[in-house]
Amino acid sequence: MSEQVVILGTGPAGYTAAVYAARANLNPIVVEGDEPGGQLMLTTEVENFPGFPDGILGPDLMDAMKKQAERFGAKFVHGRATAVDMAQRPFRVTLDNGTTYESAALIISTGASAKMLDIPGEAEMVGHGVSTCATCDGFFFRNKRIIVVGGGDSAMEEATFLTRYASEVTIVHRRDTLRASKVMQDRAHKNPKIKWLMNTSPVEVINDNQRVTGLKVKHNDTGETEVLSTEGLFVSIGHQPNTAFLEGQVETNAVGYIITKPDSTATSVDGVFACGDVADPHYRQAITAAGSGCKAAMDVERWLEAHND
């Protein structure tokens, strides 16, 4: 049996698309992905989602969105899409557990994942001192020294958050100016536990075969290297859109974000729509993702009406 619409991914975009598609009686199938709830599941307080004057915990917000979609009949399935055949309609989606779905239309809301430094020692120490999520792992670094790599808002936010646990947090950034917004920079600069190492690039994660013991860095002005002693390394250098599984069938920009048509969530493939961070290199906020999820479901509804053959 072919579905009317399959939604891939469950951040604010996927959940909102599911609410709207379900209320439009499209009986959406929603593939949860590897990280059901998306990036907000890795966050504590969300203070900028309208409607919550006292803030709301990220996981609570995602849970509420899911329940709202379920209330209108959206069907959630475990698993991650590993392949999508867009050569003909209905489109065919294959999940990692072998299940396949055929669907007249698709909404891609697979979000973006944390980027890694790709330096020696990093991959094998993930979970043993290397982390991309302060909220998830900060607790394990009580009274320890930590390094945060990055100069954007995420790095400022993670470093500030980590001072709750760590004895000292050093921000290592490859340039001498930060990319982060002024307010986030100021907050980090005011924090006495945060130290700064600018114009410095990570070269290698040092470990004793069990856990991280240091980070080898290069000072970019002199070219000299140095090993900084640390027990934790938080990599906070941005995100990569989750589009590899599409294997080039949908047009993306140079770094993999899906390109949508102006004033629309339509992609280069007729019947395939994209919303949320996977198609948004600019805003990447929960509220903008939710808004684009609404648009995608409405675009699908209209597209299905026009292709009622």
CB 74 within 8 A of CB 62: no
Does 188 bind ligand NAP (CB under 6 A)? Our answer is no
Is 275 among the residues known to form the active site?
Answer: no
CB 12 within 8 A of CB 110: no
Q: Which residues contact 289 (CB under 8 A, 6 or more apart)?
A: 11, 12, 13, 16, 109, 275, 276, 277, 280
Helix (H, G, I), strand (E, B) or coil at 306: helix
Does 154 bind ligand NAP (CB under 6 A)? Our answer is yes
Q: Which is nearer to ligand NAP, 4 or 132 (CB)?
A: 132
Interface positions, 109-128, toward ligand NAP (CB under 6 A):
117
Among residues 136, 176, 186, 270, the one annotated as catalytic is 136
In the complex, the smallest distance separating the C-beta of residue 27 from ligand NAP, rounded to whole angstroms, is: 34
Pick one of 23, 92, 218, 284: the residue that binds ligand NAP (CB under 6 A).
Answer: 284
Classify residue 44 by burial, with Cβ atoms within 10 Å: 0-12, 13-18, 19+: middle
285 closest CA partner among 17, 12, 45 = 12
Pick one of 179, 187, 193, 219: the residue that binds ligand NAP (CB under 6 A).
Answer: 179
Is 133 among the residues known to form the active site?
Answer: yes
Interface positions, 41-60, toward ligand NAP (CB under 6 A):
none
Does 219 bind ligand NAP (CB under 6 A)? Our answer is no
6-14, 55-63, 150-158, 204-212 -> range binding ligand NAP (CB under 6 A)? 150-158
Among residues 63, 85, 133, 294, the one annotated as catalytic is 133
Does 255 bind ligand NAP (CB under 6 A)? Our answer is no
In the complex, the smallest distance separating the C-beta of residue 305 from ligand NAP, rounded to whole angstroms, is: 36
Does 279 bind ligand NAP (CB under 6 A)? Our answer is no
Alpha-carbon span 3 to 205, nearest angstrom: 47
Pick one of 152, 204, 219, 288: the residue that binds ligand NAP (CB under 6 A).
Answer: 152
Does 277 bind ligand NAP (CB under 6 A)? Our answer is no
Strand partners, 172: 149, 197
Sheet holding 168-172, edge to edge: 130-131, 232-235, 145-149, 168-172, 194-197
Does 271 bind ligand NAP (CB under 6 A)? Our answer is no
In the complex, the smallest distance separating the C-beta of residue 299 from ligand NAP, rounded to whole angstroms, is: 25
Task: From residue 256, give the alpha-carbon distance in Å to each of 186, 188, 249, 280.
Answer: 32, 31, 12, 10
Alpha-carbon span 257 to 235, nearest angstrom: 21
Does 150 bind ligand NAP (CB under 6 A)? Our answer is yes
Does 218 bind ligand NAP (CB under 6 A)? Our answer is no
Classify residue 91 by burial, with Cβ atoms within 10 Å: 0-12, 13-18, 19+: buried
Per-residue HEC secondary structure of 274-300 comes to: ECHHHHCCCCCCHHHHHHHHHHHHHHH
Helix (H, G, I), strand (E, B) or coil at 174: coil
Q: Which is nearer to ligand NAP, 20 or 161 (CB)?
A: 161
Q: Residues interacting with ligand NAP, by CB under 6 A? A: 117, 149-155, 157, 174-175, 179, 181, 237-238, 284
Residue numbers annotated as active site = 133, 136-137
